[in-house]
Structure 1
Amino acid sequence: MKMKVSVLAVVTCSLLTAPRALANAETPVKSGSVDLNGDGKAEAVSIEYDEAKDEVVLKADGASARIPGDGNAPDGLFIVDLDTRDKRKELVVRTGQTDSDARSYIYGFDGKALKPLGIVPNLTEAKGNGIILSDSWKGFWNQRDKYVLDAKTGKVSLVPQDLYAVGVEATVKQSFPLARSRTDKSAIATLAQGSTIQVLAASPPSGKGGAYLYLVKSSTGLLGWATAKDLMEKTDGLPFAG
């Protein structure tokens, strides 16, 4: 499916002799000028696409970094302020055409070199408090991940979640059981054909090649676990987008 367009909600950057477009962080730009490291001097920033190598070339004040491409020239770069408590600004380059390959590469500048801070699927929201919210579409629900910027290391890291909120309803078209737990497959309930269920949460795969499990509330108020296969094949009404 085509990647959903995410809203890049960020704090307005303090720009020095920058083009108007840089003042709108939701608009990517090819080049501009901004104080990245907080020394009071503006650095020239720009982005280019090396088609022969399928790489995005990010530049800041003579320093450069190469980012893997996706076969397409990016619209530009974004300037964000991940943490308003420091004087720095960050550069974001987005690649990917679908939710499965979407990447937002985040870079900082220390006055000499561009430093990779981390990669998130989508930079959906960053309000300047050091927290990034990143959304990824999972077929019929939106997975929201939280990343934090460590002030000491300058790195962006994922905050693991045991469960992800789902919050969708579906109608059972073919009866199937709900497991007692993620590890105990014995049935706590058997869903009746025609009944309405609520898919409350998703449990991420426990290992490589694993699958999501879903916490489901039956029409009788019982909670149990269902596989993605059962939900997709034996229910109707899940909000799939194509």
Structure 2
Amino acid sequence: MKTSLLAVLSSAVLFAGAPAVAQKNDEPVTSAQADLDGDGKPDAVSLSAGKDGKFTLKVGGATSQGNASGNEVRGFTVVDLDTGDKWKELLVHTLGDVDDDHRFFLYGYDGRTVKPLGDVRALTEAKGNGIVLVDTWMGFWQKRDKYTLDRKAWRLVHVPQELYAVGLDAAAAGVEATVKKSFPLAHSRTGSAVVATTAQGSKVRVLAASVPAKLGEREDVWYLVKSSTGLLGWVRGNVLVESTDGLPLAG
């Protein structure tokens, strides 16, 4: 079932001065005092929203301009992405018309300048080890991406995956569906050779997905499917959805 990314965020991020546990009662604010650069002195932080999703983030005498592309700018929270270093980060919350349009912008402060670290759709999991896990709803499964904090470059770096595990959550091993219209399973994503043809009424399990770096439509996704006879092959997303029943489609 699809959940609100803001709800996920509220229950998953780490807030300054807190241990690595959920802080569900923390809400975004537009001003606060927080020691971001680890010098033992609190820094004055403020966030002001402009038109069309533009915003200004100020820390001490330093400022940074951001653009949430029309989203509503809600405020910021202080997070600690890596408890092993002296810095803490700022997370600017912006909300779109639907969950998929929400964006969260991360910033660091080195004592002199406000540094944009990058933006993500959510902080699904951040345990303070410099790793951020981000879930994105893909119609009937959650795509989990990994980012690492590169402190030297002051950037949040995406870690690419050749394939994504398909499931409703990180622990799920695939999604099952029933074939309503027979379809072929290809040997590869680039060739035309067929490994197997699924039988109408049989069960298949969607195990993995190949997602292009610049996803246009969800039909661009290729899925690795296991047939009822135990054979593995590839099928495009639109064919899979149109030819099966039982996928937990939402959104």
Q: Shorter-chain TM-score category?
A: 0.7 to 0.9
> 1:59 aligns to what?
58
Structure 2 contact 136–142 (Cα < 8 Å) conserved: yes
Structure 1 contact 134–144 (Cα < 8 Å) conserved: yes
1:68 corresponds to 2:75: no
> 1:141 aligns to what?
141
Q: Supply the distance in 2 between the matched residues of 1:108 and 1:148 (Cα, whole angstroms).
A: 14
Structure 1 contact 35–43 (Cα < 8 Å) conserved: yes
> 1:29 aligns to what?
29
- What secondary structure is seen at the aligned counterpart in 2 of 1:87? coil
Q: Give identity over the alignment, percent.
A: 54
CA deviation after TM superposition for structure 1 residue 208, in Å = 6.9
Normalising by structure 1, what TM-score?
Answer: 0.88
* 2:208 maps to amino acid: A
Structure 2 contact 31–45 (Cα < 8 Å) conserved: yes
C-alpha spacing 1:220/1:79, structure 2 compared with 1 (3 Å): same
Structure 1 contact 132–147 (Cα < 8 Å) conserved: yes
1:82 corresponds to 2:84: no
Backbone CA RMSD of aligned residues? 2.2
Greater mean alpha carbon deviation, residues 24-33 or residues 136-145 = 24-33
Of the candidates 224, 231, 238, which is equivalent to residue 229 of structure 1?
Answer: 238
> 2:187 aligns to what?
180
1:199 corresponds to 2:206: yes
Q: Residue by residue, what CA displacement relative to the aligned partner does 1:104-144 show, whole Å, maximum 9, x if unpaired?
A: 21100111221111222222111110000011111111111
Q: Residue by residue, what CA displacement relative to the aligned partner does 1:155-198 show, whole Å, maximum 9, x if unpaired?
A: 11000000001021111100010001222221111101111111
Greater mean alpha carbon deviation, residues 148-157 or residues 227-236 = 148-157
1:11 corresponds to 2:19: no
CA deviation after TM superposition for structure 1 residue 55, in Å = 0.7
Q: Supply the distance in 2 between the matched residues of 1:147 and 1:212 (Cα, whole angstroms).
A: 21
Q: Residue by residue, what CA displacement relative to the aligned partner does 1:27-71 show, whole Å, maximum 9, x if unpaired?
A: 2122111000001010111222113x5312212113222211343
1:218 corresponds to 2:227: yes
- What secondary structure is seen at the aligned counterpart in 2 of 1:75? strand
- Count, aligned residues: 233
Q: Supply the distance in 2 between the matched residues of 1:232 and 1:144 (Cα, whole angstroms).
A: 20
> 1:48 aligns to what?
48
C-alpha spacing 1:61/1:3, structure 2 compared with 1 (3 Å): farther
Q: Supply the distance in 2 between the matched residues of 1:41 and 1:174 (Cα, whole angstroms).
A: 65
Q: Supply the distance in 2 between the matched residues of 1:214 and 1:26 (Cα, whole angstroms).
A: 39
* 1:106 maps to amino acid: L
Q: Supply the distance in 2 between the matched residues of 1:165 and 1:234 (Cα, whole angstroms).
A: 21
C-alpha spacing 1:229/1:30, structure 2 compared with 1 (3 Å): same
- What secondary structure is seen at the aligned counterpart in 1 of 2:48? strand
CA deviation after TM superposition for structure 1 residue 25, in Å = 7.9
C-alpha spacing 1:155/1:70, structure 2 compared with 1 (3 Å): closer
* 1:42 maps to amino acid: P
1:190 corresponds to 2:193: no
Q: Supply the distance in 1 between the matched residues of 2:123 and 2:111 (Cα, whole angstroms).
A: 24
* 1:196 maps to amino acid: K
Q: Residue by residue, what CA displacement relative to the aligned partner does 1:184-225 show, whole Å, maximum 9, x if unpaired?
A: 221111101111111000011277758110000111111100
Structure 2 alignment gaps of length 5 or more:
167-173
